Structure 1
Amino acid sequence: MGFCEVRYTRRYNATPAEVWAALTEPESVARWLGNVPTRVRETEPERLLELDWLVPGDEPSVVRFELTSRENGTELVLDHRRINAVLGGAYSERWANTLLRLDELLAGVA
């Protein structure tokens, strides 16, 4: 079985602390991500969050969020790797929709 990777970059008019809160506070996570089984692999507050992605029925994969402070906001890079290549397109579409919910949350719409 082959593997693939999905990568997205977003910019937010929010501080790294605000984006970090959206990524880590359970109430916020439930609003944009839902309930996905994960295990923390690595964390550096307001900079890096790496998770084991443990969806039942799928091979375990790794999701990494990297935050970088930019002028007027924060850049978020999402890297989801070790995805079963057969499911790559579905994961890409799923992440696009999921990140729209995060966009709305950070914009104060959700």
Structure 2
Amino acid sequence: MIDLLGQLSEAHRELGTRGKARTVLLRRTYAATPEDVWDACTKPDRIARWLGPVEGDLRLGGRYQIEGNAGGEILRCDAPKLLAVSWVFGENPATNTSEVAVTLSPAPGGHTEFQLEHTGVDVDPEHWGKYGPGAVGIGWDLSLLGLAAHLGGEESAQDPEELLQTPGALEFMKRSGQAWGAAHEAAGVSHDEAKGAMERTIAAYTEAPPAE
């Protein structure tokens, strides 16, 4: 059975800038070949098993849409090394467009070094100040946990929404938020600023919505 909390320590988290853009980076190693990881990230039937059902023209220049998540255009596709896509979330592409790049490199033992960099060009400064990198970082930690389970053949049959409310998943999100808070502070913000953003983000992910 996959060790939820142990998976958190497998990843390196880092923040950066590229001109006016903000970048959030995750890097870790998977016990699978680059070809297998590439296949899991590009074949619709496998993407559905760890990220979500996907539709579209999944080739260079084509467009895709992940059910209940983001969509966009496939910008670069260099198998089995680099996949880059635009990432449009929500109904306002002018303010919600970013880019996601996945880079795969061979690692010792037939394993794969996996790097995901999410670059936001027009990040809302108010939203960033309130929630910090954990707003996207926790979501990616959850996705890469799903990929680890898929690659290891340990996928859960439980409904994803129900799974996120289990004690183990809630603790995972809390620890993920704390890890992104540490990365935020390491990037140069004050302890109080990083802590405040971290606490608000963890609450947004883990607190049950008010009853109607």
SS of the residue corresponding to residue 31 of structure 1 reads coil
2:104 is matched with 67
Higher alpha-carbon Rg: 2
Match of 1:38 among 50, 72, 75: 72
Identity, in percent, stands at 31
Greater RCO between the two (CA within 8 Å, min separation 6)?
1
* Count of equivalent residues: 109
Structure number with higher strand proportion: 1
The CA distance in 2 between the partners of 1:96 and 1:26, in whole Å, is: 20
Q: Corresponding residue for 1:18?
A: 36
User: Which residue does 1:55 correspond to in 2?
Assistant: 89
TM-score by length of 2: 0.48
Equivalent of 2:120 in 68, 79, 82: 82
**Gap runs ≥5 in structure 1:** none
CA distance in 2, matches of 1:95, 1:38: 17
3-state SS in 2 of match to 1:108: coil
- The answer for the alignment partner of 2:149 in structure 1 is 104
Q: How many Å separate the matches in 2 of 1:89 and 1:9?
A: 15
The Cα offsets for residues 67-90 of structure 1, whole Å up to 9 and x where unpaired, read as 000111010000001162525321
Give RMSD over aligned pairs.
Answer: 1.6
Deviation at 1:38, TM superposition (A): 2.6
The Cα offsets for residues 16-63 of structure 1, whole Å up to 9 and x where unpaired, read as 110000100001111211123131000100100000001124521000
Structure 2: gaps (5+ residues): 1-19, 53-65, 156-212
- Tell me the CA shift for residue 96 of structure 1: 0.8
Equivalent AA in structure 2 for residue 81 of structure 1: T
Bigger proportion of residues as helix: 2
Q: Secondary structure at the match of 2:96?
A: coil
